[in-house]
Amino acid sequence: MIPAPYFLTLGAVVFLIGMFGFLTRRSLIQSLMCLELMLTSVNLTFVTFGRTVGDPALTGLTFALFAMVVGAAEIGVGLALVLVFFREGHANVESGDLDILKG
Amino acid sequence: MGSFAGGAYVLFGFLSVAIVGLSLLMLFSRNFVHSAAYLAAALVCFAGVYALLSATFLALLQVFIYAGAITVVVVFVVMMTRVGVDRFDQLLQPQAGFAALVVVVFGGLLLSTLLGANALFTHQAAAVSTPKLAAVLLTTYEAPFEISSLILLAALVGAIYLAKEGRP
């Protein structure tokens, strides 16, 4: 079997790519895509640690499953919010235009 | 057995290169529909990595949920809003340089910790069968399992309420 550090490194690299994208993109849609990438890479880390630890309650696998559920809920609500934002006249859906709470 | 183990390494290398390459392509494409397609391909490759970890059920779910449902929703919203930008610099926030610095520092910490702790990860448990996963999910984790269905329902209702035209 392939050792755990290979998977952990892949997860870390993809997480960093997603993090860079999330921090730098203007478009909310691309930010959300990067968020999905980060979620998936962390899931990979959970599964890898689950295999390394090997506890009978399968914590790693089940945690990854629940993270998937929450990720699906998050992307649904997030994209609905993007649609609302678009409909309120922000044609470019850029995160910099979200300034309602600005003092 | 030896040749099979080598094959697993080759497959893992191929999938890693594909995932990293597709993620970067997703990041740097000016057309958001292309971005979504690259994201979908990267997520399918992640399913392959799960299969290499012997998490077959999770690999299946990865294809169904991430590569299937989520990508479709993303493409749907991209089509309803603006599908891309003309120039590359229109993709980036003004503070992109600072963000890059943050990512480099965080990445350095993350990867150095990981490489320093390499020796800790020598143990490997046996593969988990899907029936065992189902049994654990419906006994030990029964309450979170039910609550996650509530989360999905709430998200569904919330998304419909938000996206509906002329909501109260």
Residue A97 in domain? no
| Minimum CA–CA partner of A15 in chain B | B107
Total domain count for chain B? Answer: 2
Q: Which structural domain range is residue A51 located in?
A: 4-89
More confident: B73 or B6? B73
Q: What is the pLDDT of residues A11-46, one digit of tens each?
A: 999 999 999 999 998 888 889 999 999 999 999 999
Total domain count for chain A? Answer: 1
Assess whether B133 and B77 both reside in one domain: no
Distances (CA, A) of B93 to A20, A28, A69, A93, B86: 11, 11, 30, 13, 15
Confidence bin at B127 (pLDDT 50/70/90): confident
Q: Which structural domain range is residue B44 located in?
A: 1-87
Q: Which of A40-44, B81-85, B134-138, B145-149 has the lowest mean pLDDT?
A: B81-85
B35, B55, B87 - which closes a domain: B87
Contact B158 A80 (CB under 8 A): yes
Residues 44-103 of A with CB under 8 A from B: 44, 47-48, 51-54, 57-58, 61-62, 64-66, 68-77, 79-84, 86, 91-93, 95-96
Contact A58 B133 (CB under 8 A): yes
Residue B100 in domain? no
Assess whether B80 and B134 both reside in one domain: no
Confidence bin at B6 (pLDDT 50/70/90): confident
Q: Which has the closest alpha carbon to A31: A41, A23, A39? A: A23
Assess whether B134 and B83 both reside in one domain: no
Pick the residue of B20, B46, B105, B138 with the most A CBs within 10 A to test the interface with A by mutation: B46
CA distance A89 to chain B (A): 11
Confidence bin at B1 (pLDDT 50/70/90): very low
Average pLDDT, chain B: 86
CATH number at residue B66: 1.20.120.1200
Residue A12 · residue B111 · CB < 8 Å: yes
d(CA B22, CA B63): 16
